[in-house]
């Protein structure tokens, strides 16, 4: 890890990255893409030394309450968080000033902060987002090696349900020829139904590859799925969007399941729900950067 003194913390639409980089090791990670301008080794986590002061100053200046988003680019519950506790301290500030929170993670470390999530949700709205890609636990450990398994994340969703904290599942990405099967999708959907998730985000059955994350992904295909890299190159070349042949079939299963179980399905609709600030007077303020 290394410290930096940052100039700001919130984006124009109220998103923030508490850390830059990650140690979860997910083989498909888009945040590794060169286009994001990260000028250090991905696992050498950038820590904003002044993050707490920046956040407090930013929230003090806001005229209206809104949702603060985090976790879209760097998971707020990476391994360093256990000791640094910067995420927890940021949540304390959000709670102090009565703002809402939309937080995304793959780690059950979030349970450490359940007290703050409950407090934020009581005053405004807290939405916990969990990524679920792989129902098979052993396959999950290959695809997402250094993070909570799918079953562990499912347990988090149930705990949030029992505490009346709304949840959203990112069913993305789904990797062609690896987990793009009906069995996998239905297994994840069963988890979502039992956990009573509010919404499911799914952009399509596939993933995106570009310079930076493509090389890392292909390296892992060579290590764990022999021969699959060549198949990808033949079928997709250097395409940005890598879409499964099962896209239409699996998307229909997801859509039908959501409609049958009163789960928000459309990406725009789910984002609108997560961006809507709510408090006792029902005031709504839109905004945070997904």
CATH number of the CATH domain containing 147: 3.20.20.70
Domain assignment present for 282: no
Domain assignment present for 287: no
E strand intervals along 125-280 = 126-131, 167-170, 199-201, 206-208, 241-243
pLDDT(78) > 60: yes
> Closest Cα to residue 174, out of 72, 255, 227, 250?
250
Domain assignment present for 283: no
- pTM value is 0.94
Please report, in angstroms and rounded to a whole number, the separation of the first and last CA atoms in the chain.
25
Count: domains in the chain: 1
Domain assignment present for 289: no
In order of 72, 85, 189, 207, 240, the CA distances from 250 in angstroms are 24, 39, 11, 14, 21
Q: How confident is the model at residue 289 (pLDDT cuts 50, 70, 90)?
A: very low
**Cβ–Cβ contacts within 10 Å for residue 272, how many?**
13
E strand intervals along the chain = 2-4, 15-16, 19-20, 46-48, 67-70, 100-105, 126-131, 167-170, 199-201, 206-208, 241-243
Three-class SS state of 253 = helix
**Cβ–Cβ contacts within 10 Å for residue 221, how many?**
20
pLDDT in tens, 140-159: 999 999 999 999 999 999 99
Q: How confident is the model at residue 39 (pLDDT cuts 50, 70, 90)?
A: confident
Q: How confident is the model at residue 280 (pLDDT cuts 50, 70, 90)?
A: low
pLDDT(287) > 80: no
Provide the percentage of residues in the chain whose pLDDT is more than 70: 96
Domain assignment present for 288: no
Q: Is the dihedral of CA 129, 46, 287, 63 positive or negative?
A: positive
Give the residue carrying structure tokens 């890392």.
Answer: 216
Domain assignment present for 281: no
Provide the mean pLDDT of the chain: 94
Contacts for 274-277 with beta carbons within 8 Å, 24 or more apart? Answer: 274/67, 274/69, 274/102, 274/127, 274/129, 274/168, 274/199, 275/67, 275/102, 276/67, 276/125, 277/64, 277/65, 277/66, 277/67, 277/99, 277/100, 277/124, 277/125
Three-class SS state of 231 = helix
Residues of the domain holding 56: 2-275
Domain assignment present for 166: yes
- The number of helices, as runs of H, and strands, as runs of E, in the chain is 11, 11
In which region does residue 117 sit, left (phi positive, over 0), alpha (psi from -120 to 50) or beta (all else)?
alpha
Domain assignment present for 94: yes
pLDDT in tens, 84-130: 999 999 999 999 999 999 999 999 999 999 999 999 999 999 999 99
């Amino acid at each position: 890890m290394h410290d930096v003194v940052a100039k700001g913390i919130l984006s124009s639409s109220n998103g923030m990255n508490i850390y830059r980089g990650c140690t979860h090791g997910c083989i498909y990670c888009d945040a590794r893409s060169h286009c994001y301008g990260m000028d250090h080794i991905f696992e050498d986590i950038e820590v904003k030394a002044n993050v707490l002061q920046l956040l407090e100053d930013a929230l003090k200046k806001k005229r209206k309450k809104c949702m603060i988003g985090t976790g879209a680019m760097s998971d707020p519950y990476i391994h360093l968080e256990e000791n640094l506790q910067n995420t927890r301290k940021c949540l304390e500030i959000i709670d102090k000033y009565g703002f809402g929170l939309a937080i995304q993670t793959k780690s059950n470390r979030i349970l450490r902060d359940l007290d703050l999530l409950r407090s934020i949700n009581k005053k405004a709205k807290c939405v916990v987002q969990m990524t679920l890609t792989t129902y098979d636990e052993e396959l999950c450990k290959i695809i997402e090696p250094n993070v909570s398994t799918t079953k562990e994340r499912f347990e988090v969703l149930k705990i949030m349900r029992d505490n009346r904290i709304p949840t959203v599942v990112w069913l993305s990405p789904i990797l062609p020829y690896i987990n793009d099967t009906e069995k996998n999708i239905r297994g994840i959907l069963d988890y979502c139904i039992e956990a009573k998730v509010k919404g499911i985000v799914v952009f399509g059955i596939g993933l995106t590859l570009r310079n930076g994350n493509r090389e890392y992904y292909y390296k892992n295909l060579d290590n764990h799925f022999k021969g699959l890299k060549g198949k990808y190159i033949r079928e997709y070349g250097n395409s940005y969007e890598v879409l499964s042949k099962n896209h239409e079939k699996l998307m229909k299963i997801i859509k039908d399941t959501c409609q049958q179980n009163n789960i928000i399905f459309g990406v725009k609709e789910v984002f609108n729900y997560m961006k809507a600030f709510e408090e006792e007077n029902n005031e709504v303020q839109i905004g945070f950067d997904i």
